[in-house]
Amino acid sequence: MGAGLAHERPERKCVKGGKVMASYEKFLQVGVALDPIHVGTGGARIGRVDLTIVRDPVTQVPKIPGSSLAGVYRTYVAMAEHEGNPNRQVNNQAWPYYPHCAGLGQVRDNYLGHCGRYDCPVCTVFGFARGKDQAGGFAGLAAFTDAHVLLFPVPTRRGPMWVTCPMALRVIGLEVQGVEETAVYLENHSANQLNLGWLLLPVQVCSDMGTIKKKLQNLSIPDYIQKRLALVPDRLFAHIVNSNLEVRTSVSINPETGAAEERALFSYEALPRGTVLVWEIIAKNPAHFNIGGQQITAVSDPAGVHKVVAKAHPYLGYLGIGGMGTRGMGRLEVLYSNQFPASQSAQCTLTASDQPSASTSQGGGQP
């Protein structure tokens, strides 16, 4: 939610060369966890785990908040810009992009804060707290949605399977009908029952799995995942994900004695490696904004904004996101970063015995 667009011009559309330009464009991002990812609530113990991860308050499915993504992206884009121009100056003063245009921007000691300039790719794209030349704060041209679980790896007696549901697939523009029974929907009927973790479910066949696989293929999701798809109804998804999170136990070490601190055993949960996540980047049109009376020159259109943001992706693959980085957590490899694919639908047909099972409130409206 990009609130407080202080510098937005009154007109919503901008005409350049006789062509009306969109006020924003959305770009889809898909990534796979190379390590377990722990984006914590920073809260206290809930239930059996000390350090919990963030969950969607409605669906209870774990997610990575867009605010966490925005902070990590900003840091990595500043690093990338710094590598490209390590001797960067503002008005003959050294003002490197990293760390000064990264971070929260509050000036202290040797940290200069955000430069807040119309020609800074970091400050225009991610915003700044205060600006030069009487400019106030700026919300930034890029906005981030939360990252949602698209495909979740679960151990079964047939090896790992990647579980998804209609609600999760809707985010990538795929509307799947006919996944209503309390069952696991597979590509073929190779067994009567399958366990997802400790949950044993009857097997149904999704006759249109090919459409779903093709969609995932277009998003560069690896073959080994496409071959091991399992669909469940929305109402089972959160339960299956939450029952199969990685939970690790760790202990704090006293640096003086080198031994465990008393009462320092703690546990933390994480999305397991192999989890596939999706998020959106909304890129506003720079032509509709100015900073301190100056036209933004760092980027010229929404695609340019997205190109700056995507410079963070190699760093996400090396340095990762979230906590416990020192325990080998958090690396996220971005598989797809581009415009939204066209919307599609798939029908996992019900069997002949079309029993009036309690249909979910979603999926209504379609005959």
Residue 120 or 212 having the CB closest to Zn ion: 120
**79 belongs to the binding site for Zn ion (CB under 5 A):** no
Residue 140 or 274 having the CB closest to Zn ion: 140
CA–CA separation, 354 and 116 (whole Å): 62
Residue 101 or 167 having the CB closest to Zn ion: 101
Residue 120 or 206 having the CB closest to Zn ion: 120
In the block, tokens 């066209």 appear at 342
Binding mask 87-116 for Zn ion (x = CB under 5 A): --------------x-------------x-
> Which element (helix H / strand E) includes 163?
strand 159-164
Buried b (16+ CB within 10 A) or exposed e, 120-139: bbbbbbbbbbebbeebebbb
Residue 34 or 122 having the CB closest to Zn ion: 122
CB of 102 to Zn ion, least distance (A): 9
Beta-carbon neighbour count of residue 79 at 10 Å?
Answer: 20
Residue 120 or 172 having the CB closest to Zn ion: 120
Using CB under 5 A as the binding criterion, the count of chain residues that bind Zn ion stands at 5
CB of 281 to Zn ion, least distance (A): 19
CB of 68 to Zn ion, least distance (A): 21
Task: Name residue 153's beta-bridge partners.
Answer: 162
Measured between alpha carbons, how far is residue 312 from residues 55, 318, 349 in Å?
24, 10, 41
Written as one string, the DSSP assignment of 140-154 is -SEEEPPEEEEEEEE
Residue 33 or 123 having the CB closest to Zn ion: 123
CB of 26 to Zn ion, least distance (A): 25
CB of 138 to Zn ion, least distance (A): 10
CB of 283 to Zn ion, least distance (A): 18
> Which element (helix H / strand E) includes 26?
strand 24-33
CB of 93 to Zn ion, least distance (A): 13
Q: C-alpha angle 363/219/207, rounded to 5°? A: 45
Q: Is 288 helix (H, G, I), strand (E, B) or coil?
A: helix
Measured between alpha carbons, how far is residue 196 from residues 161, 166, 357, 359 in Å?
8, 17, 22, 22
CB of 126 to Zn ion, least distance (A): 9
**299 belongs to the binding site for Zn ion (CB under 5 A):** no
CB of 47 to Zn ion, least distance (A): 43
Residue 121 or 272 having the CB closest to Zn ion: 121
In the block, tokens 């809930």 appear at 46
**171 belongs to the binding site for Zn ion (CB under 5 A):** no
Binding mask 116-155 for Zn ion (x = CB under 5 A): ----x-xx--------------------------------
- The distance from CA 316 to its chain's CA centroid, rounded to whole angstroms, is 11
CA count, 13 A, side-chain hemisphere, 44:
0
Residue 36 or 131 having the CB closest to Zn ion: 131
In the block, tokens 């979740």 appear at 152
Task: Give the interface with Zn ion as residue ranges (CB under 5 A).
Answer: 101, 115, 120, 122-123
